[in-house]
Amino acid sequence: MQARGRIPCAAVERPPAPLVQPPARPYRLLVLSAPDEAALDRTAAELADQLAAHPEIDLADVASTLQANGGAAGHRRMLVCREREEAVAALRGGSGPVRVWNGAPAEPPPVSFLFSGVGDHYAGMTRGLYAAEPVFRREIDRCAERLAPWLEVDLRDLLYPSPSTSLEPVSPVSPVARPSLRDLLGRTAVPVPSAGPLDRTRHLHPAMFAVEYALARLWMSWGIVPGSLLGYSVGEYVAACLAGVFSLEAALHLVAFRARAVDALPPGAMLSIFLPASEVAPLLGPELSLAAVNGPTLSVVAGSPAAVAALEEKLRRQRVSSRRLAAGHAFHSAQLDPAVPALVREAATLDLRPPAIPLVSNVTGTWMTAEEATDPGYWARHMCRTVRFAAGLETLGAEAPRALVEIGPGNTLGSMALQPGLANPPRLAVPSLPHARDPESDLATMATALGKLWLAGVEPDWAAYQHRARRGPFP
């Protein structure tokens, strides 16, 4: 038997066969470990030679075997590929489309989940996961059934549109009473122009909740369980649900209610400004609010479209960088105050409980207390108050450098966590989904993120990960 860490293919034991054998994932996550860098190079070369010499070996079986027997040696290497030729070239150090990552973890970092707000969404996000991952599909289906009375369309048609998708109203699947918009706010609804059905606030917020909840459940099914949670804006509802503040049904109900209430308000706008909050405050007038503090020099302002446009022009003349955000309303601003009474009343009808997993509050930037979590008024304040995201990141990292898993499309939150100036940077931050402009698939992004977590010392439940992948003998 070879020294621990050196895993020549002929000596690797095959993991036990799963009870269920669905089709293999199209992307293979290959993981190697060894006691030192030289041994790791030898192991990679041996594996490349085996793959090149034995075309009959199934690459999926190779991946499963390596995951089950990779060990916990101090030097690690991983790659994600589709084809044998890609794996051979990458293992031999050649150039090509497949990257190889290395790591040497000292000790496993604590894992925290970051839940996205809105703005980076796109139609078709998670389509690959919905088709290939049973756990993810099950949770999306659960959310779709419970949201049908509120959305009046099928959530899956919003997320995964096709040319034949009609988005006709669907019949409620439960006798949940659906209040009118006049009932919600005591006023006439104001239509908000949007680029598509998913962009409408009443659709988008529940859809983002469902996607993030299903992503989190998929990660947890693979043994990546968070020790703490931080959500951004509507993402805090997903975090609170996973922490046990809300049941899934209660969270979906309140998110959908909140989205319809906001959708009834006049249009607003949001502007990201590359200035510290202290320098943004003097620029605010009666129609503008500080919506978010995302970093030492990164703030967000929200307000009426005219006031935001005027500020944008003023900043342009002063040569201050700013960027308009994809938002139809002025979230986390005084413009949402008219929706507060209705949201307080609705939250008061729900069973709210203290968080069972440590959860950072957007409102305070510190750990959410039991009193805050169970106060219906907190969830109304959360809708209108400044998102203290930078402070929340500092709170997360105060105890130890963490491995951050961004739950949502793109890597906006992870990038903010790694920005210069934060006192407690994470060990690493990985995305769950590609950005809208990223050609990488959902499945490849998730596999790469899982591999990077393993490189950092986080140990997945490989048996659970392999359970839905086809496996066979690997000599």
Of 108, 141, 157, the last residue of a domain is 108
**Domain CATH number, residue 425:** 3.40.366.10
* Residue 418 and residue 428 in one domain: yes
What band does 284 get if pLDDT is binned at 50, 70 and 90? very high
Q: Are the beta carbons of 256 and 206 closer than 8 angstroms?
A: yes
d(CA 375, CA 389): 21
Residue 467: the pLDDT is 81
Q: How many CB atoms lie within 10 A of CB 83?
A: 12
Mean pLDDT score, 94-114: 90
Q: Are the beta carbons of 388 and 381 closer than 8 angstroms?
A: no
Domain assignment present for 387: yes
Tens digit of each residue's pLDDT (9 = 90 or more) over 390-408: 999 999 999 889 999 999 9
148 has pLDDT over 50? yes
d(CA 113, CA 107): 19
Mean pLDDT score, 297-318: 97
454 has pLDDT over 90? yes
Tens digit of each residue's pLDDT (9 = 90 or more) over 81-101: 999 999 999 999 887 789 999
CA distances from 218 to 263, 396, 468 (A): 30, 22, 12
Kindly provide the b/e burial profile for residues 368-391, where b requires at least 16 CB atoms within 10 angstroms of the residue's own CB.
beeebbbbbebbbbbbbbbbbbbb
* Number of separate domains in the chain: 3
Domain assignment present for 179: yes
d(CA 185, CA 188): 8
Sign of the C-alpha dihedral, residues 219, 207, 444, 323? negative
User: Model-level pTM?
Assistant: 0.88
Q: Are the beta carbons of 327 and 200 closer than 8 angstroms?
A: no
Tens digit of each residue's pLDDT (9 = 90 or more) over 295-307: 999 999 999 999 9
* Residue 394 and residue 425 in one domain: yes
* Residue 258 and residue 397 in one domain: yes
Structure tokens at 130: 């919905």
Classify residue 334 by burial, with Cβ atoms within 10 Å: 0-12, 13-18, 19+. middle
Tens digit of each residue's pLDDT (9 = 90 or more) over 150-199: 998 999 999 998 854 443 333 333 333 333 333 333 333 333 334 577 88
What band does 341 get if pLDDT is binned at 50, 70 and 90? very high
Domain assignment present for 120: yes
Residue 436: the pLDDT is 85
* Residue 301 and residue 369 in one domain: no
Of 308, 324, 340, the last residue of a domain is 324
d(CA 5, CA 74): 8
* Residue 23 and residue 51 in one domain: yes
421 has pLDDT over 90? no
Kindly provide the b/e burial profile for residues 6-35, where b requires at least 16 CB atoms within 10 angstroms of the residue's own CB.
bbebeebeebeebeeeeebbebbbbbbbbe
Residue 24: the pLDDT is 66
Domain assignment present for 160: yes
Domain assignment present for 465: no
For residue 249, give the amino acid letter: E
* Residue 170 and residue 306 in one domain: no
* Residue 261 and residue 297 in one domain: no
Domain assignment present for 135: yes
* Residue 292 and residue 358 in one domain: no
Q: What is the 3-state secondary structure (H, E, C) of the chain?
A: CCCCCCCCHHHCCCCCCCCCCCCCCCCEEEEEEECCHHHHHHHHHHHHHHHHHCCCCCHHHHHHHHHHHCCCCCEEEEEEECCHHHHHHHHCCCCCCCCEEEECCCCCCCEEEEECCCCCCCCCCCHHHHHHCHHHHHHHHHHHHHHHHHHCCCHHHHHCCCCCCCCCCCCCCCCCCCCCHHHHHCCCCCCCCCCCHHHCHHHHHHHHHHHHHHHHHHHHHCCCCCCEEEECCCHHHHHHHHCCCCCHHHHHHHHHHHHHHHHCCCCCEEEEECCCHHHHHHHCCCCEEEEEEEECCEEEEEECHHHHHHHHHHHHHCCCCEEECCCCCCCCCHHHHHHHHHHHHHHCCCCCCCCCCCEECCCCCCECCHHHHCCHHHHHHHHHCCECHHHHHHHHHCCCCCEEEEEEECCHHHHHHCCCCCCCCCCEEEEEECCCCCCCCHHHHHHHHHHHHHHCCCCCCHHHHHCCCCCCCCC
CA distances from 469 to 82, 187, 268 (A): 14, 53, 46
* Residue 340 and residue 319 in one domain: no
Q: Are the beta carbons of 172 and 146 closer than 8 angstroms?
A: no
**Domain CATH number, residue 52:** 3.30.70.3290
For residues 18 and 107, which has the higher predicted lDDT (pLDDT)? 107
Domain assignment present for 246: yes
d(CA 107, CA 119): 35
* Residue 101 and residue 121 in one domain: no
Of 45, 73, 108, the last residue of a domain is 108
Helices 248-263 and 340-347 sit at what angle, rounded to 10 degrees? 170
For residues 242 and 162, which has the higher predicted lDDT (pLDDT)? 242
Q: How many CB atoms lie within 10 A of CB 187?
A: 11
**Domain CATH number, residue 303:** 3.30.70.250
Range of weakest confidence among 17-21, 43-47, 274-278, 429-433: 17-21
For residue 339, give the amino acid letter: A
Residue 418: the pLDDT is 93
Mean pLDDT score, 213-219: 98
d(CA 321, CA 323): 7
Tens digit of each residue's pLDDT (9 = 90 or more) over 9-54: 333 333 444 444 455 689 999 999 999 999 999 999 999 999 999 9
Domain assignment present for 375: yes
Residue 384: the pLDDT is 96
* Residue 15 and residue 162 in one domain: no
Taking all residues of the chain, what is their mean pLDDT, rounded to a whole number?
86
* Residue 263 and residue 275 in one domain: no
Range of weakest confidence among 116-125, 253-262, 352-361: 116-125
Q: Is 244 left (phi over 0), alpha (psi -120 to 50) or beta?
A: left
Which residues have C-beta within 8 Å of that of residue 216, sequence separation ≥ 6? 113, 115, 226, 238, 242, 407
242 has pLDDT over 60? yes
220 has pLDDT over 80? yes
Residue 4: the pLDDT is 34
Q: Are the beta carbons of 93 and 47 closer than 8 angstroms?
A: no
Residue 218: give the domain boundaries. 111-267+331-440
